[in-house]
Amino acid sequence: MSALLETRGLSISFGALKAVDNIDFSLQSGEIHALIGPNGAGKTSFVNLLSGRLMAESGEVLFDGRNLTRQPAYRRVRAGLGYTFQVTSIFAQLTVQDNVRLALERERSASAAEILSLLKSTGLEAHAFMPARDLAYGHQRLLELTMGLALRPKLLMLDEPTQGLADSEIEGFIALIREVSKTTTILLIEHNMQVVMALADRITVLERGRILAQGSPAEIRASEAVQAAYLGSKS
């Protein structure tokens, strides 16, 4: 395995708050890497620095052999970085298939067959013509995932994709991510430890903008520092 993504000394502050504080991180091609940590730890800010929604104050973002630190978000998408947002960001008034079309047409024109095939991959094909706002919440999250997959990213970053899903929807989601991970490297921000432990090859724990621990699921489960900072209050 080789590093697909690497950050060196990556930092951003909001006023006096160091939301992401000098992070050295690397992610191997082919892995599912979970990013966990308490609320406000800096997980979303870190991913925003990777996607280009936020520009780094200092440090570097290296992806697939390129330095993307100063590149705007659309260039990073083009380089193969895909992402979904923590807060649902679909176009409610558009149909399901038009949402997917928009995601695809950020880059190029899309055929109906291609859109249908994407919707099939996430099990939404029966809902293609429905306005997105009429989808059940769990299906809206699946639509986001479909949109994140549309441009066939090399790395897909998912920010709390199971937030708000019913317990009965979690198993299906885990299976779907396993399927996606056969062709796509995944950075998964997730609070649900059942999902993290089921999916992650490696886990990074953030706390107050810094890396508190890193390791296999078994190592993280056994870490006392992690227990104290996070798992104790969540499991």
Ligand X SMILES: Nc1ncnc2c1ncn2[C@@H]1O[C@H](COP(=O)(O)OP(=O)(O)OP(=O)(O)O)[C@@H](O)[C@H]1O
Q: What residue 121 binds from ligand X, Mg ion, none (CB within 5 to 8 A, per partner kind)?
A: none
Shortest separation between residue 206's beta carbon and ligand X, angstroms: 6
Do 185 and 152 meet the contact criterion of CB atoms below 8 Å apart? no
Query: From the list ligand X, Mg ion, none, which binds 19 (C-beta under 5 to 8 Å, kind-based)?
Result: ligand X
Using CB distances below 5 to 8 A depending on partner kind, what does residue 184 bind out of Mg ion, ligand X, none? none
- Give me the half-sphere count of Cα atoms (radius 13 Å) on the Cβ side of residue 161: 30
Q: What torsion do the CA atoms of 41, 44, 46, 47 make, to the nearest 10 degrees?
A: 150
Rounded to 5°, angle at Cα 169 from 223 and 28: 45
Choice between 42 and 82, CB closer to ligand X: 42
Q: Which is nearer to ligand X, 83 or 97 (CB)?
A: 83
Residue 70 and residue 21 in contact, taking contact as beta carbons nearer than 8 Å = no
The nearest distance, CB 132 to ligand X, in angstroms, is 23
CB of 32 to ligand X, least distance (A): 19
CB-wise, 127 or 141, nearer to ligand X? 141
Q: Find the shortest distance in angstroms from Cβ 19 to Mg ion.
A: 10
For residues 86 and 181, which CB has a smaller minimum distance to Mg ion in the complex? 86
Q: Which helix (H) or strand (E) holds 214?
A: strand 210-215
For residue 187, which of 24, 26, 10, 18 has the smallest C-alpha distance? 26
Does 44 bind Mg ion (CB under 5 A)? Our answer is yes
Token digits of residue 77: 């998408």
215 interface partner picked from Mg ion, ligand X, none, CB below 5 to 8 A per type? none
Beta carbon nearer to ligand X, 101 or 141 = 141
- Kindly identify the residues of this chain, within the stretch 74-103, that bind Mg ion according to CB under 5 A: 86
Which residue shows structure tokens 């050295």? 24
Binding site for ligand X (CB under 6 A): 14, 17, 19, 37, 39-45, 86
Helix, strand and coil content of the chain, in percent to the nearest 5, comes to 40, 30, 35
Rg over alpha carbons for the chain, rounded to the nearest Å, is: 17
Q: How far apart are CA 62 and CA 73, in angstroms?
A: 14
Binding partner selected for residue 40 from ligand X, Mg ion, none, CB under the kind-specific 5 to 8 Å limit: ligand X
Q: Residue 37 or residue 80: which is nearer to ligand X going by CB? A: 37
Q: Which does 52 bind (CB under 5 to 8 A by kind): ligand X, Mg ion, none?
A: none
Q: Cα 72–30–66 angle (5° rounding)?
A: 30
Residues lying near Mg ion in the complex (CB under 5 A) are found at 43-44, 86
